[in-house]
Amino acid sequence: MDSLFTPDDSASNEMKSHSGEPLAARMRPHSLSEIAGQKHILAEGKLLRRAIEADRFTSIFYGPPGTGKTTLASVIARSTGSRFESLNGVESNVAEIRAKIEAARTYQTLRDQTTVLFIDEIHRFNKAQQDSLLQTSNAAPCVSSAQQPTIPTFTSTHL
């Protein structure tokens, strides 16, 4: 790079591909090695890292806003070569859940690609939403990751 204001070609291409995204999205880690902290479980050879690299990871993340729950789920999807889809427990309805699961089935069938379905605020799902998710979980076209802002103490009817 010759100057601060004239980026080289590789940096320029990367900036163009992400130029429509907000700054926060562009600054997020894109790989496991870029994630700061949690080295006791994310470092090479550690439990969580091995589970992610073996593509055998399903979880519920919890913690306060801004701690990286969504970012970690998207990095996991990218690390495993999976599609990343997200839903919100407050705004989603049963039709949206079924559409995401059906799309995951299609990608699994046509491209042999799994889908990470990230469900934000999963503790707000009602019984109908939980039932629609449960009906599809037996076929397992996607890996579910969910997040909630507090320790998972809510009672789900089936999950």
Structural domains in the chain, CATH included, are: 38-148 (3.40.50.300)
- The pLDDT tens digits of the residues spanning 4-38 come to 555 555 444 454 556 688 898 889 999 998 988 88
In the numeric block, the tokens 């809510």 are attached to 154
> In b/e form, how buried is each residue of 56-74, taking b as 16+ CB within 10 angstroms?
ebebbbbeeeeebbbbbbb
Q: d(Cα 54, Cα 61) in Å, to the nearest integer?
A: 19
Structure confidence by residue, pLDDT tens digits, 77-93: 999 899 999 988 889 89
Give the integer Cα–Cα distance in Å for 99 and 33.
33
118-144 confidence digits (pLDDT tens): 888 888 888 888 888 777 665 555 666
Query: What's this model's pTM, rounded to 2 decimal places?
Result: 0.73
pLDDT computed for residue 3 by the predictor: 55
In the structure encoding, which two tokens stand for residue 56, read together?
A: 């055998």
How high is the mean pLDDT of the chain? 78
Percent of the chain with pLDDT over 90: 13
Question: Is the pLDDT assigned to residue 39 strictly greater than 90?
Answer: no
Q: What is the pLDDT of residue 124?
A: 85
Q: What is the pLDDT of residue 69?
A: 86
Sign of the alpha-carbon torsion through 122, 39, 64, 76: negative
Torsion region of 121: left, alpha or beta (phi above 0 gives left; psi -120 to 50 gives alpha): left
What SS3 string covers 24-71? HHHHCCCCHHHCCCCHHHHCCCCHHHHHHHCCCCCEEEECCCCCCHHH
Distance CA 122, CA 126 (A): 9
**For residue 157, pLDDT beyond 50:** no
Looking at per-residue confidence, does 58 or 102 come out higher?
A: 102
Q: Please, which pLDDT band fits residue 149 given cuts at 50, 70 and 90? A: low
- For the chain, state the CA radius of gyration: 18
* pLDDT classification of 68: cutoffs 50, 70, 90: confident
Residue 117: the pLDDT is: 86
Greater pLDDT, 65 or 22: 22
